[in-house]
């Protein structure tokens, strides 16, 4: 465990140079260890970079502040996204890794979507599990050559189906190649998420 650009994080070197590194972004209350088992399952042999969110909400780590459930502090989101982007660039230089693919869940998926829109080209792609539209008025971005996987839950009590559809549309309009699956699930993850993410990553 180490801190770079103030992020506590875990870095696991890869054993398969053909695989892009994976940036793991946990949900609310998670930490830098939370998604490591998932990363190993869906991207065997890939280097894994997993930072801990710097914001605490009732003692639970997050990547940015929210005003209430589903209502983001967009000024904080912009600043935290830029800090995370600086961390990623620093980690690339430090560890000698290529542009990563983000794998984010919930709050981590939201900040990954923000990274795509605010820092086009930083990520090779992103698997967004239970993500929401991060901005009321998303910034213009050029995402040609970027791939995105959106896995939403049809029974998700936190993310309305229309919100997931809007996020897919925003990324497509920016030029990203988007695959969106609405799964018969709630906000939690399942083996369907694992299988779909693993297959999508293998095809990159």
Name the band, by pLDDT with cuts 50, 70 and 90, for residue 2. very low
Higher pLDDT, 86 or 2: 86
Residue of 106, 114, 152, 164 with catalytic role: 106
Could you give the angle at the alpha carbon of 18 between the alpha carbons of 12 and 22, nearest 5°?
A: 40
Give catalytic status of residue 187 as yes or no: yes
Give catalytic status of residue 6 as yes or no: no
Residue of 177, 181, 187, 190 with catalytic role: 187
Give 46-94 pLDDT, tens digit per residue: 999 999 999 999 999 999 999 988 889 999 999 999 999 999 999 999 9
Output the CA torsion sign for 94, 95, 100, 105. negative
pTM for this prediction? 0.96
Residue of 9, 156, 164, 193 with catalytic role: 156
Average pLDDT, the chain: 95
Give the SS3 label for residue 174.
coil
* Distance separating alpha carbons of residues 100 and 3, to the nearest angstrom: 18
Predicted pLDDT of residue 5: 59
The whole-number average pLDDT for the span 93-110 is: 97
Cβ partners under 8 Å of residue 27, min gap 6? 34, 105, 106, 107, 108, 109, 130
Give domain 2-202's CATH architecture.
3-Layer(aba) Sandwich (3.40)
* Distance separating alpha carbons of residues 167 and 4, to the nearest angstrom: 30
Name the band, by pLDDT with cuts 50, 70 and 90, for residue 1. very low
Which element (helix H / strand E) includes 115? helix 107-118
pLDDT at 98 over 70: yes
Predicted pLDDT of residue 70: 83
The whole-number average pLDDT for the span 160-175 is: 97
The whole-number average pLDDT for the span 163-191 is: 97
Give 79-89 pLDDT, tens digit per residue: 999 999 999 99
pLDDT at 179 over 80: yes
| Domain range list for the chain | 2-202
Predicted pLDDT of residue 3: 41
* Distance separating alpha carbons of residues 17 and 31, to the nearest angstrom: 26
Give catalytic status of residue 156 as yes or no: yes
């Amino acid at each position: 465990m180490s801190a770079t650009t103030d992020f506590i994080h875990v870095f696991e070197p890869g054993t398969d140079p053909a695989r892009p590194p994976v940036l793991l972004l946990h949900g609310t209350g998670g930490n830098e260890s939370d998604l490591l088992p998932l990363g190993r399952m869906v991207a065997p042999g890939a280097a894994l970079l997993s930072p801990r969110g710097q914001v605490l909400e009732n003692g639970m780590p997050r990547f940015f502040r929210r005003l209430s459930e589903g209502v983001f502090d967009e000024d904080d989101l912009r600043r935290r996204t830029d800090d995370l982007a600086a961390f990623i660039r620093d980690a690339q230089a430090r560890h000698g890794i290529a542009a990563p693919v983000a794998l984010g869940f919930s709050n981590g998926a939201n900040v990954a979507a923000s990274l795509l829109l605010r820092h086009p080209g930083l990520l090779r792609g992103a698997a967004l599990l239970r993500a929401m539209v991060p901005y009321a008025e998303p910034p213009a971005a050029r995402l040609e050559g970027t791939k995105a996987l959106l896995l939403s839950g049809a029974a998700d009590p936190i993310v309305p189906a229309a919100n997931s559809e809007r996020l897919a549309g925003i990324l497509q309009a920016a030029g990203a190649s988007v695959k969106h699956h609405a799964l018969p699930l709630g906000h939690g993850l399942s083996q369907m998420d694992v299988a779909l993410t693993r297959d999508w990553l293998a095809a990159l």
